[in-house]
A and B are shown apart, each in its own frame.
Chain A
Amino acid sequence: MIDINLEIYNDAFWTQFKDNSNVFETIQSYIDNYPGLSKIFILTEENYIDKDFIIDYSNYYARCFKDIVKKTKRYHFFFAEKKEEILDLFYSIFGNNRINESLKKLNSRYLGFLVKKELENGCIGRTILKKYPRKVDQNSERVLNVACINKINIFGIPLEIDTLPFQEQDGGVSACATMAIWSALRALSDKFNISIPYAPSEITSLAFEEKSLISSPKFPNEGLNIHQIISVFSKLGYNIISYSDVEDNEFLSQLFRSHLNYGIPLIGLLEFEDDSFRRDYHAVTISGYKLDNLNDSITQLYVHDDQVGPYSKVNFQAGKLWEWNYDWFVKRETLRKIKMAEVLVPLYPKIRQTFTAVYEKTYLHMQNKYHLKNSDLRIYLDDVNSYKWDLITKIIPIIKNKTNPERVLNKSFPKHIWVLRLKEKDIPAVDFIFDATNHNLSMHECIEFF
C-alpha cells in the first residue's frame, strides 16, 4: 500500500515562502478564505518536474554559474473534516473499489496545488487553485469564465480543475508582461485550440524576436513593451485589439462583460504614478469580475497579477472603471494612482468584427434612439454552439413565445456572433444577432421572444 502523508495545513506552511515570494500572502488569504471549507490537508510531492520550470531551466537557469535546483516541490491541497476521509478515497481508488464515485468525490475535495521552485526571487511557480463559487450573496456573483481545464495527476489518479493558472514572476526569464501573457494563453489555447501554452522563457524569447528598440537583455528579463506583447500574440495566431485611454464607464463595462463572459482573457496595462509623478508600467491578466445584480454593474475586477496573486480583487476609485485601487497601495506607500491605460484583447482571427464598432453602431444606437436604460441592453460575443445551448437551457424555459427561438435551432449560423439583447423587465425580449466573422457588420438574425 502506498504511504500517503497528509499533513494538516496551517499558517506555519507559509514560513518557507516568506523570503522568496511577493505573492504568498494573497495565496494564503485565497486558501484561508475559500468559502465553506473545513480543515485543509497538504500532500507534498517531492522532486516534482514542472514542465514550465524545466523549460525555463534549460533556457536560462542551467547556464547560470550558481547551482539552481531543477526539480521542484508540489503541494496539493485537500479539504475535509478529517484526513481519513481523503485517505479513504485514495485507498478505495487504489483498491478499485467504487472507483468512479471515489474519483468524483476526491476531485470535489481537491482545492488545487502550487509548485515551489528553489529560487531566490519568485519561488511560487505554476499554481492551480479552484475558482471561488459563482454566487457571492443574494445580490451579487463572480463571473470567472476565463479558465481552462487543468489535468492533474497524483499517484496515477487523474484529477482536473477548471480554473486560470497563475505564477509569480521570477525576474530571470519573466517579468509581469510575460506572466500576464502566460496566464492568458492558458485560457486561449483551451478555448480556440490554435496555440500551445508556452513556458515563460519561451514567451519572453518570442517577444525578443521582435526588434523592439530596446537595449535590455532578454534574460534576466526586465519587462516587455506593448509592441513585444502584441507580437507574441500575433506570432501565435491571435489578433490583438487595443483600447487606449478609455475613460467611459459604460464602454468599459460592456467591453469587460462581452469578452470575459465568453472566456476571453484581457491584458490590462497599468500606469502607476507615484507622489513625485514618476510613472511605471505594469501588466496583468484580467480574469473576471463581480457583478452587482441589483444595479447590473461591475463592482470589482479579478486579476491575475504576478506580483500580487491570483484572482486579486480590484476596486475602483470613485466608481471609475479605469482607476484601480488594490493591494498595490499597501505594497507601495508612495503610489498615488493606478490607471488602466490600455486594454489588449486577444481574439481568434476569425472574429473580424470587434467590440468598438458593434458597441457604437448597435448598442449606442439603440440606447440613444429609444432612450433605453443600460440594464435593458447587453452586447456580448458568443459562438453558435454556446448561444443555441443558452437558448435551450436559459431562454426557452422562461419566455412566452417559444416558437421563434425553437425555429432558429436548426438554422445555420456563423461560428462567432455578436448578440445585442434587449430585455424587458429583466426578461430577454429580443436578440439581434450579428455575424462576427464577416468583414462588414451585418445582422444575421433577429429573434423575438415576446
Chain B
Amino acid sequence: MNKKKLIKPDKKEENLSKVVDAAKKYFESPEFKNAPGEMEKIYNILTPEKLLKRMTI
C-alpha cells in the first residue's frame, strides 16, 4: 500500500494547493495575457513639463 496516500494533507496545505492551482491557471490564461495595465497610465507618464524640471540644488 502506498503510505503516502494514507497521510492526509493538513487543511492549510490543501488551501494553499488550491490557491496555487487557481493562480497557475490564471497566469497561463488568455485573460492574464490580455489584461490591460491601468497603473502604467497613471504612474509611468512623464509630461513635457515634468521633463523640463531642472535639478538645481
Contacts and interface: CB of A to CB of B under 8 A. Distances in A.
A342 to B, nearest CB: 7
B55 A224 contact: yes
Interface in B25-57: 26-28, 32-33, 35, 37-40, 43-46, 50-57
A419 to B, nearest CB: 13
B55 A223 contact: yes
A226 B44 contact: no
Contacts of A246: 43
Contact of B44 (A242, A280, A341, A443): A242
Nearest to B38: A360
Interface residues of A, number: 55
Prevailing SS type, chain B contact patch: helix
A424 B10 CA distance: 13
A443 B16 CA distance: 19
Prevailing SS type, chain A contact patch: mixed
Given A361-B35, A430-B20, A440-B33, A223 B43 contact: no
Contacts, number: 117
B21 to A, nearest CB: 10
A282 interface: yes
Given A226-B46, A362-B27, A283 B39 contact: no
A281 B37 contact: no
B39 A281 contact: no
Interface residues of B, number: 30
A442 B28 CA distance: 7
B46 A281 contact: no
A227 B46 CA distance: 10
Find the residue from A251, A272, A443 having the highest chain B CB count within 10 A.
A443
B57 to A, nearest CB: 4
B56 A175 contact: yes
A404 to B, nearest CB: 11
A356 B44 contact: yes
B23 A432 contact: yes
A450 B43 contact: no
B39 A356 contact: yes
B7 to A, nearest CB: 12
Given A175-B56, A227-B51, A356-B44, A450 B13 contact: yes
Nearest to B19: A370
Contacts of B44: 241-244, 354, 356
B52 A223 contact: no
A424 B16 contact: yes
A330 interface: no
Interface of B: 12-13, 16-17, 19-20, 23-24, 26-28, 32-33, 35, 37-40, 43-46, 50-57
Interface of A: 175-177, 180, 212-214, 222-227, 229-230, 241-246, 251, 269, 272, 280-283, 307, 341-342, 354, 356-357, 359-362, 365-366, 369-370, 422, 424, 429-430, 432, 434, 440-443, 446, 448, 450
29 contacts: A175-B55, A223-B56, A224-B55, A225-B51, A225-B52, A225-B54, A226-B51, A242-B44, A244-B43, A251-B43, A269-B55, A282-B55, A341-B53, A342-B50, A356-B39, A359-B39, A360-B40, A422-B19, A424-B12, A430-B16, A430-B20, A432-B23, A432-B27, A442-B33, A443-B27, A446-B20, A450-B13, A450-B16, A450-B17
